[in-house]
Structure 1
Amino acid sequence: MKLKQTTSYGIALLLSAALSGPQAGALTLNEYMNQVKGQNTGYQGTSTQSEGAGLKSREADLYFTPQLFAEARWGHDEKPNSPPVMVYDQLATDNYKLGVSQQFSFGLQSKLYYELNKTNFVGASFGPNVMTEYWDASPKLELSMPLWGGGFGRSARATQEITRQQNFADQYNSGAQANNLLVGAEAAYWRLSAWSEVVVIQEQALKAAQNIHDYVARKQKMNLGEKADVIQAQALLESRTLELQVAKNEAHDALRNFNKFRNQEPYATVENLEKVDFKSLESITVPQARPGDRLDVKATEAQLATAKANSQIVRERNRPTLDVYGTYALNGRDDAMNEAIKNSGTENRDTAFMGVRFNMPLNLKATSDARSGAMKSEKAAELNHQYAQYAQEMDWTTLTRSLTDARDNLKLLGRIEEVQKSKLENERARLRQGRTTTYQVLLFEQDYTQAAVTRVKSAANILGLQSQLKLYETQNSPEGGK
């Protein structure tokens, strides 16, 4: 019972808004959309996810930036002395490293750091002038360069691209979901506004049908009319009652949908809404050129870039690897740490190594299949992107064509409604003069009501189509995307 009262109250508010026209306290479309953005957790979730993915894409910028690293290690070794002539109870070591590492986009991997090692032969008896506790200080440079598999930074750049494009795809997909929700909310606003007007039209039609019924009933009682006229008027009255009930049911459904988008109770009361501006809709300009790509199409573009980078990594990973590497260090040793550091720059105490590393997978069939599979995945992503672009063009053409047709139809419907209204008013006057039949007035009444309802529904359709145009606006692209 309470639900029915709440529903009736909500519909009553809508009818009052439609009858009285725009008021100072009317809930505008912009205000409603702000409510949706502020209260709809689905929108907040998808938009936040989109923003988060855009920020996460910055992780790709860290791949080729310098990294500060530090390491400290303490330990001891009590295994039997080796060689046996070295007598000590325990070997205790401390190790400290501090430096900078960087991987370059052209493939070079580098480390420049300072290493300190403390060595302590606990309980040692090595003889005179032999240090049992000392520090080693070494500034070091380590370089490695892949020349074949993943050579010259191909794998590193592909890994960076995967990180970036995967987040872009997530960003665009989430942004598309958020935009679709807003488009649906805007359509729900105008649907509710339109059906409130339809209810008013049907109420007016019911009232007119009741007046006709009362008129012919009075004439029949005075033996000035036919019983058939009363029956026809009664049939119209019942028909109008049914049409009003159907319109109210549609308004109830529109109200539930309206409140769903702003996370309210299904039959929460609704403020006055903006009324449909028929004149402005009859003169809208339909854009010919598509402003930009939809976010779901941008997502397939990012997925294609991801697939290409994945394919590159698979190819590089299954090639033989040939790396050139080298290490250069200066060395200083003393029982005092400061002196060891000073001595690290002394000539003829450096250490240098160069080398090559080679590795090749022996299961050639498996590596060939892996590369073929990666290429197929890349091709599939390319086909998906091509179809998304084609579907977007078709959707844009259909949308603009539908919008143009709906606008032109609305102009005709406006003229038809005016003609039907004039025809009905004239026929009602003729009926009062006894110059026409009730049946003829009933037909004209039905024609006028149908024209008015069709015009309102057509206007709501145009507003729904207009909201879909926003899916193609370039400013809807999430910040941070390409």
Structure 2
Amino acid sequence: MTMKFLVALLIVAPSCSFAMNLQEYLNAVSSKHKTIQSLDVQKEAADLRKEAGDISLVPVLQANAFYSEDKSPTNQWVSFGADESKSYGGTLGLSKSFSSGTNVALSAQAAEFQNPGLNPLLGDFQKFGTGSLGVSISQSLWKDFFGEATRMRWATQDMSNAAEKGSYDLQKKSVMVQAEMAFWDYLYSVENVSIARDSLERSRRIETWTRRRVNDGISEKADLLQSQALVASRQLALIAVEDDLASAKQSLRDYLELEPSEPLPAMTGDISKSRPLSSMVDGSRGRVVALEAYLASLDAKAKELAARQVDENYKPDLVLSGSYQTNSKENDLPAAAQKWGDTNRPTEKIGLNFTYMFDTDVKEAARNSSKKDALAAKLQSERKALESESSWVELNRRYSELSKRVEAATQVVGLQESRAKAQADLFNKGRSITNDVVNAEEDAGTAKLNLSRLKSEQRKMEAQGRLYIAIEDK
């Protein structure tokens, strides 16, 4: 960047207490832009949804209390002379499923029963209490054989989570790329205004020289009119580029989400400094792919795992279960609860439970639909991979060609400026006509603007490298 451009940047940019370079500007956009904030929140929500996928493994506590008065004629104790039956008590249970597919449940129960008027021969049942402690265990031996289904669900959730968060990263990078392009558009507009002001100043000097030559009788009035027309056209061009600069400023304000009362920080950057495309790619080594293609591959893998999970869910199941429960019977509830741990009268149970869903068209449709979704995602991923490889090669080719154009344009600017200076010297010596000077000035100005535009396009093309990542093939 030339010293003249730095001075022009400070003149054109709004006055403020600090200046921002590109990285500081991007950091500010990242922290203030509402869309990026929203995407960050959505990434956090994705992580929470992944964690919430284990909701079935959370311990569950159940408590129940009851009180009952039964005067129904169908009460089982009525036939034994009881007028009514009263009961009260409660249960407490704790169950926990494990990632191994094992389910464990603990329970405690205590209750008291009163049957006034009951036949004296059944005196033990006029008032009595019961209590029990129990434990039960079950384990899938087929569908969720020691946690197979849980591990598959975890793998699917991990892949889906990576794909979802990656999509938010892609959207965030897209915003950042657009923000960087706005940054370079602004610097280009600043330089454009600087060049337009220089061109206007030179055209005014030409007008002054021509006016003096006309007054001295050396030049014709037509030459003066031509130089005045040049001044007017340069003034018009300056108005246009100043309007472009105002739009570029507003774009920066929008990305920084500044309030109307907040000044726009001065932006500093070297529009002439190139950056290798590879330096913009995330990742230090590996094959370069478009982030969109990488996300498509993650989505395909997630859908493949989901299809396998559907198959797993429709497998037959064989569950081994066992339970053990103590039983106590005393005169009332407190006494029964005190003997919860009495193992003299236990209830023991062991069993096998087999479940099979018949292979109907409905079941096959459910399986095949998930498999076809996985196949479609795989085909889409393969297509994205081809497009990614092609786009990276094309981006590098275009960047190389643009670099050559920048180099050629730089030479053109040097030659055109030398030509314009030579024409001005000849004009001052009376050895050139106004038209030649004007043409040389216009050609030099056009060459500088073209070079500035090409450099801006080169910086914006480099920013597109942010949409690629380097991955190591496993």
The TM-score range, normalised by the shorter chain, is 0.7 to 0.9
CA deviation vs aligned residue, 1:233-288 (integer Å, no higher than 9, x gap): 2343333223222212221221121111011357964332214252x32xx44429
Would you say 1:255 and 2:249 are equivalent positions? yes
Give the letter for the 1:85 counterpart.
F
Residues 116-155 of structure 1 aligned to structure 2 (within 5 Å): 116-123=109-116, 125=118, 127-130=122-125, 132-145=127-140, 147=142, 153=147, 155=149
Residues 152-167 of structure 1 aligned to structure 2 (within 5 Å): 153=147, 155-167=149-161
Unaligned runs of 5+ in 2: 1-5, 284-288
Unaligned runs of 5+ in 1: 1-12, 476-482
Judged with a 3 Å threshold, the aligned counterparts in structure 2 of structure 1 residues 23 and 76 are, in CA distance, closer, same or farther, namely: closer
Question: Deviation at 1:429?
Answer: 0.5
Would you say 1:346 and 2:346 are equivalent positions? no
Judged with a 3 Å threshold, the aligned counterparts in structure 2 of structure 1 residues 19 and 265 are, in CA distance, closer, same or farther, namely: closer
Judged with a 3 Å threshold, the aligned counterparts in structure 2 of structure 1 residues 34 and 291 are, in CA distance, closer, same or farther, namely: closer
Judged with a 3 Å threshold, the aligned counterparts in structure 2 of structure 1 residues 21 and 360 are, in CA distance, closer, same or farther, namely: closer
Q: Which residue of 1 aligns with 2:286?
A: none
CA deviation vs aligned residue, 1:131-164 (integer Å, no higher than 9, x gap): 732132122123142525x666554444444444
Distance, in Å, in 2 between the alignment partners of 1:453 and 1:88 is 107
3-state SS in 1 of match to 2:408: helix
Q: 2:10 aligns with which of 17, 24, 32?
A: 17
Question: Deviation at 1:69?
Answer: 2.8
3-state SS in 2 of match to 1:436: coil
Q: Which residue of 2 aligns with 1:470?
A: 466
Q: Which residue of 1 aligns with 2:96?
A: 101
Aligned length: 454
Poorly superposed stretches of 4+, deviation over 6 Å: 19-24
Judged with a 3 Å threshold, the aligned counterparts in structure 2 of structure 1 residues 52 and 92 are, in CA distance, closer, same or farther, namely: same
Q: 2:59 aligns with which of 37, 60, 67?
A: 67
Q: Which residue of 2 aligns with 1:287?
A: 278
Q: 1:114 aligns with which of 107, 119, 132?
A: 107
Question: Deviation at 1:338?
Answer: 6.7
Q: 1:76 aligns with which of 60, 68, 76?
A: 68
Q: Is the 8 A contact 1:255 1:267 kept in 2?
A: no
Q: Which residue of 2 aligns with 1:8?
A: none
Q: Is the 8 A contact 2:213 2:219 kept in 1?
A: yes
Q: Which residue of 2 aligns with 1:458?
A: 454
Would you say 1:365 and 2:361 are equivalent positions? yes
Distance, in Å, in 2 between the alignment partners of 1:86 and 1:373 is 64
Question: Deviation at 1:438?
Answer: 1.6
Q: Which residue of 2 aligns with 1:217?
A: 211
Judged with a 3 Å threshold, the aligned counterparts in structure 2 of structure 1 residues 329 and 20 are, in CA distance, closer, same or farther, namely: closer
Residues 173-188 of structure 1 aligned to structure 2 (within 5 Å): 173-188=167-182
3-state SS in 2 of match to 1:239: helix
Distance, in Å, in 2 between the alignment partners of 1:24 and 1:425 is 39
Q: 2:26 aligns with which of 12, 29, 33?
A: 33
3-state SS in 2 of match to 1:270: coil
Give the letter for the 2:87 counterpart.
A
Q: 1:381 aligns with which of 377, 383, 407?
A: 377
Give the letter for the 2:180 counterpart.
E
CA deviation vs aligned residue, 1:375-417 (integer Å, no higher than 9, x gap): 1111111122223333332332233333333333333322322
Give the letter for the 1:110 counterpart.
N
* Bigger Cα displacement from structure 2, 114-123 vs 466-475: 466-475
Residues 296-375 of structure 1 aligned to structure 2 (within 5 Å): 296-318=292-314, 321-335=316-330, 337=334, 342=339, 344=341, 346-347=343-344, 349-361=346-358, 364-375=360-371
Question: Deviation at 1:333?
Answer: 0.3
Distance, in Å, in 2 between the alignment partners of 1:20 and 1:97 is 72
* Bigger Cα displacement from structure 2, 397-406 vs 206-215: 397-406
CA deviation vs aligned residue, 1:79-133 (integer Å, no higher than 9, x gap): 422263373623424332333412334xx33113132232423536253344732
Distance, in Å, in 1 between the alignment partners of 2:293 and 2:406 is 32
3-state SS in 2 of match to 1:115: strand
Residues 234-273 of structure 1 aligned to structure 2 (within 5 Å): 234-264=228-258, 269-273=263-267
Q: Which residue of 1 aligns with 2:80?
A: 85
Q: Is the 8 A contact 2:12 2:190 kept in 1?
A: no
Aligned-residue identity in percent: 17
